[in-house]
């Protein structure tokens, strides 16, 4: 079903077009740049064909210096007066050393910045750029505070490897981790699983393989770090050693312009880094130099701001933002000293879906946000969108609970949302999608509000407080916020998951007492959506979102080590003692 295109209600101020190319470009390719331990990393350099020196933009990648988008960046910025250095990270493609994700990026990033800042064609000012893992290389090196590092422009970056990459709410990001870790990145070069392979080799079969610990082997690979991720399902020292930017915000002393999408797997990391460095950065310059832009995009940021359509929704021309030009404004300001006006703008710029307009603010969450409870109600038959589940602001009193059976052999399929990275390489629906096929299922309980009499803008962090019991010693609970259009089109706005054993602590899991009622907080990250007049607010509760997340087998066994599956009976409470609700950030 195609999404309805809401009317755009405002127009943003046009931004100046990016500076036109001024220089021809010359290259020096495959330079062996030594790190502190003598390992040499393959490095390509793009230079303006003009007398230097030039400020430098550094891009560090595990995906090859020669892919089109890295070459395009090299040419684009070199034409506009920058030296651009693109480097294969350790152990990937033409670089020496052993490939182990995350481990060497802080020290190697520092050493690469030092090399960039001391070349004869360099002014000594270095900026960093890149998205996804290329953003990770920036954030991990930032706390080292290289003397030459003057600005960063990380796109879709993480903040905590455990909490907003490999695991989310204690659940394993199966679709992303298996495709990226076990399949693509297990060796020196990319090894994609082509989508045309026979059924037994397709992702639909690989995602269902059990036990999870041998998922790499089911794809014909051997990937040690993928197995290590599964052997460490709890947050702890293993993950802290690999990467946690959040613990180092006080050591970061560089301005950063972060770019993200409401349907990106690294949305929360992008927001966390903006908020964290703005609050705790080492200097006033760093704290005031944080900026963030979030659009209605999945991981590729709408083809870097060139597409109006994400998933099943066309967000109109307001969604078009030249993100490469935004980076140029940022680097011109910090590396060339040109007043581009970028520092005069509010530091937060987010796209309000539903109205299809941009909102700016001085902080995140937006000052003055009101957090409003919307409570679950029903007469014990909220199963599916045909049930009696209701949602309103009135606290519940005496109401029977709702029950459903979660069978991990028949999980609720992922229908859109925030996995990674694109449907051309990960065959999972992404972004905003019609949720009705999932809402027809009896193992999804649905709570829907009355048609709205006035627009309601929800912008900010979203949380579900759920009171529930399970017949299993461990299980999952999922939550989804949905905008129901008058036509019935039900588009996902935000989502979350909690693995029951981590309801109290991600470091010290504890199993359930079957049948006992527990309180769960399900973090649905953040979003921005205007629920229009005549639309309805809906919350879905279930226990699976597969294959974005692994299926909880309901056994309570050690994670990922066996193939046992057990059905579980789940009970959702909404009464005076157990007021299950969603907390919505409402802005005027």
Whether 487 and 537 map to the same domain: the answer is yes
Which residue among 73, 88, 216, 264 is the active-site one? 264
Of 496, 499, 479, which is closest to residue 408 (Cα–Cα)?
499
Whether 72 and 204 map to the same domain: the answer is no
| Last residue of one domain, picked from the residues 364, 389, 423 | 364
Query: What's the pLDDT score for residue 8?
Result: 32
**8-23: average pLDDT:** 58
| pLDDT per residue as tens digits for the range 29-41 | 999 999 999 999 9
* Any domain includes 346: yes
3 has pLDDT over 60 = no
φ, ψ at 314 (rounded to 5°):
-95, 115
| Last residue of one domain, picked from the residues 216, 238, 260 | 238
Residue 475 CA to residue 257 CA, distance in Å, equals: 39
| pLDDT per residue as tens digits for the range 269-278 | 999 999 999 9
φ, ψ at 5 (rounded to 5°):
-95, 105
Whether 427 and 513 map to the same domain: the answer is yes
Residue 327 CA to residue 258 CA, distance in Å, equals: 10
């090196």: which residue's tokens?
141
- Show the tokens assigned to 212: 């999870």
- pLDDT band of 17, cuts 50, 70, 90: low
473: left (phi over 0), alpha (psi -120 to 50) or beta: alpha
- Show the tokens assigned to 181: 């870790």
* Any domain includes 560: no
- Catalytic, 209? Answer no
Whether 548 and 411 map to the same domain: the answer is yes
Whether 32 and 143 map to the same domain: the answer is yes
Neighbouring residues of 52: CB distance < 8 A, sequence distance ≥ 6: 83, 120, 121, 122, 123
Whether 352 and 375 map to the same domain: the answer is no
Residue 193 CA to residue 184 CA, distance in Å, equals: 7
Torsion of CA 542, 545, 546, 551, to 10 degrees: -60
| Last residue of one domain, picked from the residues 364, 392, 409 | 364
Please give the residue that has the higher pLDDT: either 327 or 196: 327
| pLDDT per residue as tens digits for the range 339-359 | 999 999 999 999 999 999 999
The 3 state secondary structure assigned to 406-426 is: ECCCCCCECCCECCCCCCCCC
Neighbouring residues of 241: CB distance < 8 A, sequence distance ≥ 6: none
16 has pLDDT over 70 = no
Query: What's the pLDDT score for residue 14?
Result: 40
Measure Cα distances from 392 to 3, 120, 378, 456, 584 in Å.
25, 65, 11, 13, 12
Which residue among 132, 384, 418, 527 is the active-site one? 132
Range of the domain at 291: 248-364
552 has pLDDT over 50 = yes
Neighbours of 281 (CB within 10 A): 23
Which residue among 299, 377, 535, 578 is the active-site one? 299
Query: What's the pLDDT score for residue 10?
Result: 35
Specify whether the CB–CB gap between 567 and 408 falls below 8 A: yes
φ, ψ at 470 (rounded to 5°):
-140, 150
Query: What's the pLDDT score for residue 19?
Result: 77
Query: What's the pLDDT score for residue 272?
Result: 98
* Any domain includes 269: yes
Whether 492 and 346 map to the same domain: the answer is no
Measure Cα distances from 155 to 244, 292, 317 in Å.
17, 10, 21
* Any domain includes 2: no
For the chain, give the mean pLDDT.
95
- Catalytic, 264? Answer yes
| pLDDT per residue as tens digits for the range 182-214 | 999 989 988 888 888 898 889 999 999 999 999
1 has pLDDT over 70 = no
Query: What's the pLDDT score for residue 18?
Result: 63
% of the chain with per-residue pLDDT over 90:
91
Whether 228 and 188 map to the same domain: the answer is yes
**523-544: average pLDDT:** 98
Helices (H) and strands (E) in the chain, counts: 14, 25
Of 156, 92, 108, which is closest to residue 129 (Cα–Cα)?
156
Before 15, cis peptide (omega within 30)? no
- Show the tokens assigned to 253: 């002393």
Whether 434 and 570 map to the same domain: the answer is yes
* Any domain includes 264: yes
CB crowding 122-160: b at 16 or more within 10 Å, else e: bbebbbbbbbbbbbbbbbbbbbbebebbbbbbbbbbbbb
| pLDDT per residue as tens digits for the range 371-430 | 999 999 999 999 999 999 999 999 999 999 999 999 999 999 999 999 888 888 888 999
| pLDDT per residue as tens digits for the range 422-477 | 888 888 999 999 999 999 999 999 999 999 999 999 999 999 999 999 999 999 99
% of the chain with per-residue pLDDT over 70:
97
| pLDDT per residue as tens digits for the range 57-86 | 999 999 999 999 999 999 999 999 999 999
- Catalytic, 299? Answer yes
Whether 330 and 255 map to the same domain: the answer is yes
Whether 118 and 43 map to the same domain: the answer is yes
Residue 333, SS3? helix
- Show the tokens assigned to 186: 């297990």
Q: Report the number of distinct structural domains present in the chain.
A: 4
């Amino acid at each position: 079903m195609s999404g309805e295109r809401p009317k755009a209600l405002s127009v943003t101020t046009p931004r100046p077009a990016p500076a036109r190319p001024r220089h021809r470009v010359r290259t020096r390719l495959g330079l062996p740049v030594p790190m502190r331990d003598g390992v040499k990393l393959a490095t390509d350099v793009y230079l303006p064909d003009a007398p230097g020196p030039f400020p430098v933009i550094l891009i560090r990648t595990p995906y090859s210096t020669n892919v089109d988008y890295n070459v395009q960046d090299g040419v684009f910025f070199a034409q506009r007066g920058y030296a651009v250095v693109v480097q294969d990270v350790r152990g990937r493609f033409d670089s020496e050393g052993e490939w182990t994700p995350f481990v060497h990026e802080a020290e190697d990033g520092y050493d690469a910045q030092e090399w960039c800042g001391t070349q004869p064609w360099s002014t000594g000012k270095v900026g960093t750029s890149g998205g996804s893992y290329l953003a990770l290389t920036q954030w991990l090196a930032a706390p080292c505070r290289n003397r030459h590092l003057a600005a960063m422009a990380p796109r879709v970056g993480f903040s905590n490897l455990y909490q907003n990459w490999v695991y989310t709410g204690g659940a394993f990001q199966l679709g992303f981790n298996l495709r990226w870790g076990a399949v693509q990145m297990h060796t020196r070069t990319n090894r994609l699983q082509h989508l045309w392979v026979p059924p037994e080799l397709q992702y639909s079969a690989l995602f269902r393989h059990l036990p999870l610990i041998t998922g790499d082997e089911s794809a014909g690979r051997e990937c040690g770090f993928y197995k290590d991720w599964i052997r460490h399902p709890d947050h702890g020292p293993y993950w802290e050693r690999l990467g946690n930017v959040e613990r180092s915000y006080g050591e970061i002393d560089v301005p950063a312009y972060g770019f993200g999408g409401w349907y990106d797997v690294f949305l929360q990391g992008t927001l966390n880094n903006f908020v964290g460095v703005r609050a705790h950065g080492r200097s006033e310059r760093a704290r005031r130099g944080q900026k963030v832009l979030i659009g209605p995009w999945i991981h590729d940021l709408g083809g870097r701001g060139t597409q109006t359509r994400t998933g099943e929704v066309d967000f109109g021309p307001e969604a078009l933002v030249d993100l490469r030009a935004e980076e140029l404004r940022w680097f011109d300001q910090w590396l060339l000293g040109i007043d581009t006006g970028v520092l005069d703008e509010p530091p937060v710029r987010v796209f309000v879906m539903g109205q299809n307009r941009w909102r700016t603010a001085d902080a995140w969450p937006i000052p003055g946000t009101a957090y409003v409870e919307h409570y679950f109600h029903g007469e014990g038959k909220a199963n599916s969108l045909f049930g009696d589940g209701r949602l309103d602001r009135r606290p519940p009193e005496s109401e029977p609970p709702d029950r459903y059976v979660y069978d991990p052999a028949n999980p609720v399929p992922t229908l859109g949302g925030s996995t990674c990275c694109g449907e051309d390489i990960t065959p999972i629906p992404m972004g905003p999608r019609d949720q009705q096929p999932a809402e027809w299922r009896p193992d999804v309980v649905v709570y829907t509000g009355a048609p709205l009499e006035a627009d309601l803008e929800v912008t900010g962090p979203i949380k579900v407080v759920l009171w529930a019991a399970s017949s299993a010693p461990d299980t999952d609970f999922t939550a989804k916020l949905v905008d129901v259009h008058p036509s019935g089109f039900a588009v996902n706005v935000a989502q979350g998951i909690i693995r029951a054993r981590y309801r109290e602590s991600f470091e010290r899991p504890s199993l359930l007492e079957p049948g006992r009622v527990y309180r769960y907080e399900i973090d649905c990250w953040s979003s921005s959506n205007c629920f229009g007049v005549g639309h309805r607010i809906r919350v879905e509760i279930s226990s699976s979102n597969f294959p974005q997340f692994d299926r909880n087998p309901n056994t309570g066994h050690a994670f990922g080590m066996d193939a046992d599956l057990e059905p579980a009976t789940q009970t959702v409470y909404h009464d005076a003692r157990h007021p299950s609700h969603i907390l919505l950030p409402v802005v005027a």
